[in-house]
Chains A and B, each alone.
Chain A
Amino acid sequence: MHIPDGFIDIPTSAAFAAIAAVGVAASLKGAKSSLDDKTAPLAGLTATFIFAVQMLNFPVAAGTSGHLLGAALATVLVGPYAATLAITIVLLLQALLFADGGLSALGLSVFNMSIIAVWVSYAIFLALKKILPKTKSSITAAAGVAALISVPAAAAGFVLQYAIGANATFSVGAVLTAMVGTHILIGIGEALITMFAVGAVLASRSDLVYGYKGEKASLEIRSAT
């Protein structure tokens, strides 16, 4: 969903770049609370893994492919602030090194993928975590649902940008239907990869997983009494 230069006009791109910059700046501050000597390297690994898996386009429907976005994965592993930073670094490097995504559109993409997708993931993950039993498989399942929804949510962010400042005149309704429909399909792949990766980290180093921390703390309290 890396937006090329030209789809969205410059004033709209600049406005979203400003919003994205505020979000990234807030995340630089917020990430401090979730990153320590142990989890900071995990956040670096998360960004690295997301970069790698974003290269792996999988086929979804006739002539269409998708790839991992990684917002839900990063949110569950390292928390929303560090997730915003991780996805932003990936998007920056992709645009600067690999010409993937336009430089003038970077703010638009950061807004959709590093901010909308991350915070939608976080909200869904938290809500599900509350109602599901306190087990590792619940964390994995909640991450999967968050991943599934985060992709069409990011796609809806693009539709908003299209509605405000498209350089084309096709109907917003048609773009909305096509974008959300296609990205629900991609979201299924996103959910599968996210559940696999979250499951793998929970199995080997559950102590590092941001989304599992509360569970661990309550277990520790019980064992002490």
Chain B
Amino acid sequence: MKPKSFLIAGFIASLFLAGVVSFYASSNPDGLEKVAQDIGFSETAKENTNAESALADYGVKGVDNARLSTGLAGIIGVVATGVISTGLFMLVRRKSGDTK
């Protein structure tokens, strides 16, 4: 597979997973949340300072359709992660002119 098509395939797979498949994810508490509930320290959690933000809890504020809201949030997250992480790694990388 060519480098470019490999990257594009991976990016499309990520968009599909976050944008479509995410709707079907389990909504049960995760391992830490469940342990906190069972043992009893879940009450010490404070509300997230960003709890009212436009994308809080992987939903887009104002979009009522749950499937659309989760999917859009996932796509925004994938694009944001893709741009920021690739940008950082390209900055950090050994440039082709550099000596090892």
Contact = CB atoms under 8 A, between A and B. Distances in A.
Given A6-B46, A89-B88, A182 B35 contact: yes
B58 A98 contact: yes
Contacts of A2: 30, 32
Interface residues of B, number: 63
Interface of B: 1, 3, 6-7, 10-11, 13-15, 17-18, 21-22, 25-32, 34-36, 38-41, 43-51, 53, 55-58, 73-74, 76-78, 80-82, 84-90, 92-96, 100
Contact of A36 (B29, B55, B96): B96
Contacts of B31: 1, 60, 64-66, 155, 179, 182-183, 185-186
Interface of A: 1-7, 28, 31-33, 35-45, 47-49, 51-53, 55-60, 63-67, 82, 85-86, 89-90, 93-104, 155, 158, 162, 166-168, 170, 174-175, 178-179, 182-183, 185-186, 204-205, 208
A82 B89 contact: yes
A40 B93 contact: yes
A189 to B, nearest CB: 11
A98 B86 contact: no
